[in-house]
Amino acid sequence: MLAAFSAVAAGASRRTLAATALGAQRGFAAAVKEADGDTITVEVNPFKAHRIDPPATTVTATKDELLQYFKELYRLRRMEISADMLYKAKQIRGFCHLYDGQEAVIVGMEAALQKTDSVITSYRNHATHVMRGGTVVEVISELMGKVTGASKGKGGSMHMYRREANFFGGQGIVGAQVPLGAGLALAHQYKGDGGVAVAMYGDGAANQGQISESFNMAALWDLPCIFVCENNHYGMGTAEWRSAKSPAYYTRGDYMPGLKVDGMDVLAVKAAFAFAKAHAVAEGPIILEMDTYRYHGHSMSDPGSTYRTRDEISSIRQQRDPIEHIRKLLLDNGLVEPSVIKGIEKEVKKEIDGAIEAAKAAAVPAPEELWASIYKDNLGMSLRGLDSTHMHTYSS
């Protein structure tokens, strides 16, 4: 009885400490050090470093850059909220994993990378497709199973894909994308093109054995790979303190350097990715742990409120929201008038509404698409007496 009580008490203690740490996260960037015309210099929250000297915390941004970040962040947020409403209206079916709250990670990443760099991620991938040059129409259409979707209506929420921009998709199997990301890094190394591969995964996937194997291989071969743990603090309904004895994910490579980054601040994320790319090209792999937060549940079937409090969610929204951070930088430093921000919001809302209408009007895939893109036709070969065009028939 006493042992059981002690175990519960220990668990409660860990949970309290974890909740306190989450609530005590620093809010928006500490201070604007300097404002010079249309340019501001900001002191971002410090990076925690493992086996490497961290980058400087002083970041410079122009008005135009901040406006672009705001528009991108706001577009992704509106897109995901719209997906939530469409799902509840039963116009989107199946799995649906939303990214709202985590937008600064992907926006900051793309601000530092080129489309010649490779990206592969998990099933929370709607925003990745858009930031790799895809459209909101393609995302909403894919969610609704339409031919105009990112994967022609056959992939759904978990399988966006944009090969022309080296986005190798969302992966439905937890952690399976990480060894593939190491393979993409090997391709960059083999071709000597100066590019890097980004392999993204969550804190829930961080304990997968294949991720440790990927770390080992990447370090042995000095692959230009950036391993990115999007630590939103909860797996599939499981808090990180329940699933990880050591939740310092940026140190998990042991022999590999790592950084822990304020993943709610697009400026900090951009600086970290620029630093990580330079390191990966010159020295080999590095881990970035993005300290972020998801506002929705794990998926649409998860209310997201049974394993965390509404006060916790509200606190993060008030203190660390990535959109409000950029809005505050723009307005508080007199870079733009409020009407400019409102104009961007109005423009984005119109874009999202148009994308939804276009997706609704699009056609669903034809029945023969069920077996398309599986076998290449006219190979002139057969398997067990059947060729690629053979159609099975059934009788009752």
What confidence category does residue 24 fall into, taking pLDDT thresholds of 50, 70 and 90?
very low
What confidence category does residue 34 fall into, taking pLDDT thresholds of 50, 70 and 90?
confident
Q: Which of 199, 203, 200 has the alpha carbon at shortest distance from 232?
A: 203
pLDDT at 3: 46
pLDDT at 5: 36
Tally Cβ neighbours within 10 Å of residue 134: 21
Share of residues in the chain with pLDDT > 70 (%)? 87
Name the token pair of 290: 């993005």
What confidence category does residue 6 fall into, taking pLDDT thresholds of 50, 70 and 90?
very low
In contact, 358 and 141? CB cutoff 8 Å? yes
Name the token pair of 365: 């895939």
Any idea where the domains of the chain sit in the sequence?
A: 41-232+242-359
The pLDDT of residue 130 is above 50: yes
Give 32 or 68, the one with higher predicted confidence: 68
Return the CATH number of 41-232+242-359, one of 3.40.50.970, 1.20.970.10, 3.30.460.80, 3.40.50.300.
3.40.50.970
Residue 232: strand, helix, or coil: coil
In contact, 177 and 214? CB cutoff 8 Å? no
According to DSSP, residue 291 is labeled E
DSSP secondary structure letters along 135-195: -HHHHHHHHTT-TTSTTTTSS-TT---BGGGTEEEE-SSTTTHHHHHHHHHHHHHHHT-S-
Query: What is d(CA 52, CA 344) in angstroms, rounded to the nearest whole number?
Result: 40
CB burial of 245-263 (b: ≥16 within 10 Å; e: otherwise) equals: eebebbbbbeebbbbbbbb
Q: Across-strand partners of 35? A: 40
pLDDT at 25: 53
277-288 pLDDT, tens digit each: 999 999 999 999
